[in-house]
Structures are given as C-alpha cells and as structure tokens.
Amino acid sequence: MAGDASPASPSSPELVLASASPRRLELLGRLGISPARVVATDIDESPLKGERPRDHAVRLAAEKARAAAALAPGCLILAGDTVVGAGARILPKAEDETTARTCLALLSGKRHRVFSAIAVIRPDGTLREALSETIVRFKRLSAEEIDGYIDGGEWHGKAGGYAIQGSAEGFCDWLSGSHSGVVGLPLYETRRLLKAAGLKVR
C-alpha cells in the first residue's frame, strides 16, 4: 500500500471497505485514503436471468455495500464490483484455465466493455451509486500469446480472464474510459461519492 496514504480525520466518518481485494485497497491509497476496516462480504454473485452486464455490476456493488453495512452499522461503507461484458454476455471470473482461455479467445481482436460500479452507504443509511463504463480493445491474440498469458497465472479470479494492471495491458491497443475502473475501482467516481459523503479526500 502507498506509504503516503493517511486515515480519515476525526471529523470524517469511519470508512469501511467492503472488499478484500488488494487492488481496491491500493487504488484507494492513491487518493490518500486508508480505510479503518476491511470487511469481506459473502454474497451470491450469480447473474440473474436476462441480466445485462451493466445492471449486474450495479446490483452486486449495492448488495455488497448493504451486507457490509449490516456488519458495520454507523460507518461509511464503500463497495464495488467490476464486470466484463461482451455484448449482452457477462464474462465470468476465471477460476480455471479453460474458462480463462475461452474468455481470451472471445476478446481477441475485438472491443469489449468493462462496467465498474461503486456503492456508498452513509452512516445514516443513505445509498449512493456510480458507474464507470470503459471500452477496451484487444489486439488479435495468437495461440502462443494466450498460452503465455495462461502460464503466467495473472488471469486467476479475474473478470473476463485478464488483469489489465499486469502483462495483459500489452494486449490492449485502445481504451476509452477509466483505466482504474478496469483494474477494479474507478477513482473519479469513488472520490466524488466519498467526498460528498463527508470523507476528507486528497
């Protein structure tokens, strides 16, 4: 974590990050924020029938925030969820090589969208939400490139089977939107909601 991150001032609400993701924690540090607590939530992340990628991301972020708020009442809760969409299709988090290969083959040479939603629940229970939508285009990937990426292991647990903060950024020949959103926490939207909720932000 960045060494210059500092905790919220006494006049600010206590911030709870509803995510065990080290990427989100590091991204918060770029804003000079260190949450008082991290609460990992356990919710069913299965898409609903007919649910589109955008709606899926927004729903999961809100559900994670509500679950964390129940565990940390009276705190300021920040939750997020990132979904990779290929058209109306929600790409899974890759937990095995077969899934990762399928995702990479589908994204090869095409544009896809990354929806990164955040939800903030204030101490009074008010919920505020924001969504970042980023278009990413991958170069056409050779079998050797896919094999090499799979061997590196960065895909494990990642939506769409890749992590743009790693070597997969070398596959991205064009991006429109929020790079931090693709990583997992859109900093512009996060800063705006947390500042509006009374947290002191860099």
55 in catalytic set: no
Spatial CB neighbours of 85, under 8 Å, sequence gap ≥ 6: 52, 53, 54, 91, 112, 113, 114, 115
CA distance 16 to 14: 7
Q: Kind of pairing, strands 172-176 and 33-34?
A: unpaired
Question: Of 81, 96, 124, 151, which one is the catalytic site residue?
Answer: 81
Spatial CB neighbours of 168, under 8 Å, sequence gap ≥ 6: 149, 154, 162
Question: What beta strand segments (E) does 8-140 contain?
Answer: 15-17, 33-34, 37-38, 76-86, 89-90, 111-121, 127-138
Q: Which two tokens stand for residue 32?
A: 């000079």
Q: Which two tokens stand for residue 18?
A: 């509803």
**16 CB neighbour count, 10 Å cutoff:** 23
Supply the residues annotated as catalytic.
81
